[in-house]
Amino acid sequence: MLRAVTSGLLCSALLLGCATQKEYSPKEWREGMRNSKSSIWGSFIAIESYDAPRPYQQITETLRRKSKECLDLTVQSSGMVKHGAYWVRETSRTDYKPILTTEKGKTELTVNGNKTPYYGIDVVPAGRNASRVTVYRGKMGVSDTIHTAVTGWVKGDSVTCPRWNG
């Protein structure tokens, strides 16, 4: 009897582990992106670095303000999808949360969607009036939407919030 109960608990734990999605810290996610760049998934990943002609502190303050204003929201969408021989309406809801950290002369912004990272940007000083920027993102989908806005904010352009539903 004890063996049956133990086996049942072990199988339940294994199945639960397979069914749950691991939550990644921003650091773990960035490391995973760097490691995936050389894998089969590499063609779907972009890691880009460039110098921005704006002081580090200005970029950090812009990212802090605009991420709260534009990237902390819930997006709901629906559409028709085919299930077997039938078309059904499917609705999805994504809760986006920006995580901005600043420490030791480095600012990191990670945008999570339903607790899964979608987009990341690191900014470090690169002289008095310049900053070094590294972006971690997917090459399509919502990551592109976020990237367009954030790139404008980093450059100091007057860019509005992303258009989430087209």
Is 14's pLDDT higher than 50?
no
Sheet of 106-113, strand order = 45-52, 131-138, 116-125, 106-113, 86-103, 73-83
What's the sign of the alpha-carbon dihedral 44, 73, 149, 26? negative
- pTM for the full model? 0.77
Q: Which two three-digit tokens encode residue 21?
A: 């999605």
DSSP assignment string, 6-56: HHHHHHHHHHHHHHSPPP--HHHHHHHHHHHTTSGGGGGEEEEEEEESS-H
Written as one letter, the residue type at 92 is S
Region 86-108: what's the mean pLDDT?
Answer: 92
Q: How confident is the model at residue 3 (pLDDT cuts 50, 70, 90)?
A: very low
Fold of 45-166: Alpha-D-Glucose-1,6-Bisphosphate; Chain A, domain 4 (3.30.530)
Is 21's pLDDT higher than 80?
no
| Per-residue pLDDT tens digits for 112-138 | 988 888 899 999 999 889 999 999 998
Region 106-112: what's the mean pLDDT?
Answer: 95
Is 54's pLDDT higher than 90?
yes
Give the pLDDT confidence score for residue 26 in this predicted structure. Answer: 84
Least confident of 34-38, 50-54, 56-60: 34-38
Alpha carbon dihedral 34, 164, 89, 118, in 10-degree steps, equals 10
What is the rounded distance in angstroms from the CA atom of residue 69 to the CA atom of residue 99? Answer: 13
What is the rounded distance in angstroms from the CA atom of residue 70 to the CA atom of residue 146? Answer: 9
Q: Helix, strand or coil for residue 3?
A: helix
What is the rounded distance in angstroms from the CA atom of residue 123 to the CA atom of residue 154? Answer: 9
Mean pLDDT of the residues in the chain? 83
Domain ranges of the chain: 45-166
